[in-house]
Structure 1
Amino acid sequence: MSNTALLERPTAAPARHLRAVPAPVETVAPQRPAEERALPAGTAPRGFALYVGIDEAKVAASGVSLGVLVDALRRTLADLAPSAETYATVALAPVGSGGRDVDVVRLALHEPSAIARTKAEELEDEDRAPGGVAVDISRKRVLIDGESAAFTFKEFELLQYLVLREGRTIERTELVSSLWQGATDDEAPGERTIDVHVRRLRAKLGRYEDIVRTVRGVGYRFDRHADVSIRYGHGTPSPDRF
């Protein structure tokens, strides 16, 4: 999800204003209002969160942008409840991460029940101790056949960099500039030193060493592999955008 694209508002498409619609006729027994339901002692409702799951491609197909949707919702809310205060942020997730958009949003924005479910799933995964390689992005570790591998920080960074750019060949120069940012010329490794890091990484991967492919004369790449699972954890911090 491009940060730049999130800031753009198309000039061709006019801003749209959402309209309140009448409530449908109740066909089942209506629920009690939230304020009448049992609440934890000492608490009171102070607002609500509405999670909207839609990526940039889907919203663009509707002729608008994420920013336009946020503006429309804010204007509608201002009409219905002028005293309401609003805050909006964008949910970021790794490119290619699966699942329903709204579930990805809830997890990226640290919605409590979504995080609780994810933690339970992680515990189940660990209990099963699956075979293959599990790259745990959130905990900065690699499990090989259910056992934690003794990767150095830089070895993990190297594997993570390739895994998160699945299907793209990464040149050695890019690996040096990205993984050794801020290093002086004396501190940054040469391109051939990257080959040494990759050899050590493959040695620790053991029988799964071929998940890191060499592209002769260019660099390295990671392709989707049946023996590899990726755990993204509890979401990427989401910056203010609106």
Structure 2
Amino acid sequence: MSVSPASSRAGWHASQPAVPGRPPGGQRRPTTGPAPVLTVTLTIPLAPEESLAPAARRLLDAAREMLEQGEGIVSTGVAPERRPDQVPAGRTPPRPAPPAVPALHILASSRSVLRDGEPLPLTRLEFDLLLHLVAHPRRVFTRLQLLNAVWGYEHAGVRTVDVHVRRLRGKVGMEVPLVTTVYGVGYRLADDARVTIDRSG
């Protein structure tokens, strides 16, 4: 309760402070009609969630949680014209198809290698190294084992194997999975290498 002077003639009177949202005289408004609706529009850059700011990531998580609990509604309507690189909210942008990995085809009889049908020039040792690894997939070879199997002797320096592996990778293409380095051990054929052998070719 507060007391305030109304005028010099009326003297003093008591008045109740006004409450926001409540009509004068203390009467409550009837609670009829639908509950008020809060509409929120989120604009989030099309980027991996890991690159979003922490605040934006928390807001996105909260919106997902509300939708999963049925506390929110996603409404669709006529969207404004958007650029081709924009994706509607709630949809995952299509991922570009991964580039096709070139395939290698080994013709054992003619000692030649084709990369997507094109001849790949390899030296004798590079060809023998590739053929040996492809003939024993998922097996790891030490440098000494490769020297003995490919070079035919073990007296050369083990770095010779490293040099030939590096040259083989360079000729095939660094984007083509071929030889995997097993650190502290040696080398093996890559699991996703696309290589076929034609023993009669």
User: TM-score scaled by structure 1?
Assistant: 0.38
Q: Which structure is richer in relative contact order (CA contacts within 8 A, separation 6 or more)?
A: 1
Larger radius of gyration: 2
More helix by share: 1
